[in-house]
Structure 1
Amino acid sequence: MTAHRTVRLVLSLLAGLLLAGTVTTTAQAEDGYRFWGYYQWTNGQWAFAQKGAEGVTPADGSVEGWRYAVGGAKPRVPRAAGDFAAICGATPAESGKKRVALVIDAGTPADSASGETPPAASGTCVVTDPKATGAKILSAVQPVRIEKGLTCGIGGYPGKGCGDPVKNIQVPATDTPVTLEIGAAVGAATTPTPTAVPTNGSSAPAEQEEDAPWGGIVGFVALVVLLAGGTYFVSRRRRASQQS
């Protein structure tokens, strides 16, 4: 088992214990972790995901949630409800596509490790392929920083760190609800086509890419001519030595 799979298994088991409420809490200060939690809106409430985002394929009409916070025995869910109608209601359905509402809540300044200011909680409707995973849906909206198989940063927040342990955490009994900033609907991210960069450092125009195959053909022809010439030279030397 690789190291990152071991870390993911430990976090998954911890999440299961937190969700099931089997971790015993005491009056003493507890230790926890600072991380992005992954949730699904189910039966009118947030539920901690039982799989990683790359292993979940949300159905059309689903609501995905991410929350950055310091967590211990109590899960820290997104502070806004997963309202599909509010997030995707203005986005028409498309044939052969699915609509998934995505809630991203970066938490509070108190959850930050280095004084970074968390961005406002947002809601975005993602229109994408029916087979798109939770990971692809997230990356369609914000750049994602992955380390050792874990989602460590979303949209550049936080700038560093990943699942760092925190001693003597102070988790509020309840989180004050927030209002989501609803953004424009987006499509799923696609793999960009590589662009050739010329040696002069300027932007490569599209016309230069069309010339690339000819360069390969010319090089190949030159190689064939060189090999043929070498073979002819060797055979002539052999005949000359035999005649002498």
Structure 2
Amino acid sequence: MSARQGVAARQPVRRRAGRAAVLLAVLGAVLAVLGTGTAQAAGYRYWSFWEGSGSGWAYATQGPSLVRPEDGSVQGFRFAVSADSQDAAKPRRSPDFAGICAHTPAEDGSKRVALVIDPGTAADAPDGATPPALRTACARVPKDASSADALASVAKPLRYGSDALLCAISGYPASGCGEQVAGNGDADAGRTADASAPTSSGVAAGGDGSDGGGPSAGVLVGVAAVLLLGIAAVAQARRRRG
């Protein structure tokens, strides 16, 4: 093979390698943009509300003041940091009505509601606070009582904030209500419950249990821009070789 033939044979290999390098650079930039968006993701520190059944816990779609549980129901409350209902931490005890209300017999004119109250872990606690121990209680309340009534009968004092958001159970935490927490776990002291924070049902504004926990619009625009630049670079490289 002559030197000219050798050069010609190597050109397709070099072109493929060049294209691969450009595509890898584009992919790396996209991943960097996505990684930045994820690292800055924020959550909220609040009491979430759950409804129990034989299959486990389900994130409540209404606030405790609106739910009218029946006799034999199990309700859960969990204090934690989460971005939305999709990643919210569940109570760390199973919804066992028989076990929780074993010593509370049924009575005419009232109903029994088993409650699991989980203040969460030290990682979720506000700075300087120590979460109390998880506990359960069997509330005997009138038949028309709400979940909030049942909770108030066994876990006072309760504290509510704007939009009826449940801020504290049995006085925990002592202050704050739905604060925004940065991705590194630090709370933004200037941010309290608002249109973007959990509502009284613990569901983000909009009420459907999802608040767009994926990449923000700005991140997606950045990804699109990077992709367009990468496509343009590949096209330009091909024109030069042509």
Q: Does 1:145 align with 2:156?
A: no
1:77 and 2:90 are equivalent in the alignment? yes
**Please, what is the CA RMSD of the aligned residues?**
1.4
**Amino acid of the structure 1 residue aligned with 2:182:** K
Specify which structure has the bigger relative contact order, considering alpha-carbon pairs within 8 angstroms and separated by 6 or more residues. 2
Q: 2:171 is matched with which residue?
A: 156
Instruction: Give the secondary structure class of the aligned counterpart of 1:168.
Output: coil
Shift of 1:44: 1.8
C-alpha contact 1:32 1:169 (8 A) present in aligned 2: no
Q: Deviations over 1:24-59 (max 9, x none)?
A: xx7632211000001100342111110111110000
Match of 1:45 in 2: 56
Distance in 2 (CA, whole Å) between partners of 1:146 and 1:156 is: 11
Counterpart of 2:44?
33
Does 1:95 find its partner at 2:108?
Answer: yes
Q: How far apart in 1 are the matches of 2:70 and 2:89? A: 24
Once residues 96 and 79 of structure 2 are traced to their aligned partners in structure 1, the CA distance between those partners, rounded to angstroms, is 19
Does the alignment pair 1:58 with 2:69? yes
Query: Matched residues, percent identical?
Result: 45
Contact 2:51 2:57 in 1 (8 A): yes
Change in Cα spacing, 1:169 to 1:56, as seen in structure 2 (3 Å) is farther
Inter-partner Cα distance in structure 2 for 1:116 and 1:95: 42
Letter of the 2:136 counterpart:
G
Secondary structure of residue in 2 paired with 1:136? helix
**In the alignment, which residue of structure 2 is the partner of 1:118?**
131
The 2-side partners of 1:90 and 1:157 are apart by 27
Tell me which of 180, 197, 218 is aligned to 1:165: 180
Q: Whole-Å Cα distance in 2 between the matches of residues 134 and 76 of structure 1?
A: 20
Q: Matches of residues 85-234 of structure 1 in structure 2 within 5 Å? A: 85-142=98-155, 143-148=157-162, 149-169=164-184
Structure 1 residue 169, shift from structure 2 partner: 4.9
Query: Match of 1:152, as an amino acid?
Result: C
Per the alignment, in what secondary structure is the counterpart of residue 80 of structure 2? strand
Residues 169 and 137 of structure 1: CA distance in aligned 2, closer, same or farther (over 3 Å): farther
| Offset at residue 95 of structure 1 (A) | 1.1
What stretches of structure 1 of length at least 5 have no aligned partner? 1-25, 171-244
Contact 2:54 2:95 in 1 (8 A): no
Task: Tell me the TM-score normalized by structure 2.
Answer: 0.58
Runs of 4+ in 1 over 4 A off after TM superposition: none
Alignment partners' CA distance in 1, 2:138 and 2:62: 22
Question: CA offset at residue 163 of structure 1?
Answer: 0.5
The answer to whether the Cα contact below 8 Å between 2:115 and 2:151 also exists between their aligned partners in 1 is yes
Tell me, in whole angstroms, the C-alpha distance in 2 between the residues paired with 1:82 and 1:119: 20
Distance 1:169 1:55 in 2: 34
Question: Cα gap change, 1:85/1:161 in structure 2, threshold over 3 Å: closer, same or farther?
Answer: same
